[in-house]
Chains A and B, each alone.
Chain A
């Protein structure tokens, strides 16, 4: 079960991210499902898994985009590493830390992405205030469901 689950989760997350941003975006805004998933996987499975999944999900996002090939991969693998390392200091089983962590990491992610744009493209890839404010909130709202899914899988697969 667990050997099937992770590949399925990986591909399913790709499709979910694409589907949500294509069909369910509100005013062009959609939650960053892959970021939330990376945080959740790293929180439950450690930095290796978090980094690995985050890196490849990031590559997927980079492949879909046109600018900064490698930025999402770098940022998501960093998020996975960071959360994986800090997971023992945070109670990932309770709701407030999950929401707060995802909200903070979303803002950091956004800022770092803009910073990478400034570094490598010499322009600040600003998504706009709406996206800067609401996407982290959307991510935070999605976090409990994603954490619950990973938690349930952890318990189900042992």
Chain B
């Protein structure tokens, strides 16, 4: 990763102009898709977007828009953004806004086209599942954030999610207690965290390889046990129920926002707490300052009396515990039973969210929401019978990940000592 960024850096001067044109071309391309594909094929019908759920206390009227003209207009906006981008290098803030606007135009055009002349598309529903799909990504990214901020690369988020899903399913099913299942899921993720910590910190194993190995281990172990135990004893070991959705009084009744943010399972509320805890913890407490110092310049931390290795152990294991909760969501918050390799790359997407979010908790959360949105979009598109093969739709989150990390990340900087073992002479 370091090499890539230095390579990218070495050619920056000519790249500035290059990059500017590339960005403008991308904007223009998206704008043209808005116009030539979405607007053109939308026909003359209306797209209808519902803004409240069927059981809402206060209903908000649905939005009816003429599909084709809207897509044309949004395409024009994108083209204007492309021109603006090509003319002059804007400030960083403006650059980000332009990206956001163009992407938003693209998504709305897409929705207009997909829903043109069909049953109303429920936007609240779409965003509600965005938030839900984001939970494991958010928790995984927070786990990665804790690890990497203290200087240990965590590729094993995937394995932590999987172990969390597995452990929580079995225990919740066997004991019939969801909370015990949640706790076990967290501990199972923590167990991978312990392995990661011991081998990375104590035995100085290359952390990228180690992470991949742990993922393979988690996949193999849960897969084997699934075949041997969960399939034959499906009813006792692999049929936990799921946590019920709990609506927050008052807040949950706010139109549009209520159902999205305040009417969900305990996982969402736990995520809120953890996001705040990690953000405040890392940047406003003694523990966080020390952890970040350890991740940036462990020798300096050592010379002022901070125990580098202990700090890393603590953070890596804490990260594992958090990722394990994300794993528990897969079974206890979503599907309701364990399936082989059910994390399906979410750990890697969480890692991408961390990088995309520049190693900050809030940035990672924003990135996770973006990836969650593509997942939600994909599942809703599938129900609308759009003429796109479902396999291609399923790729959407991963394509978005690659584009985001490769193209849009820009100058994010990993903690300086990230991935470097600390050895005292």
Do they bind each other?
Answer: no
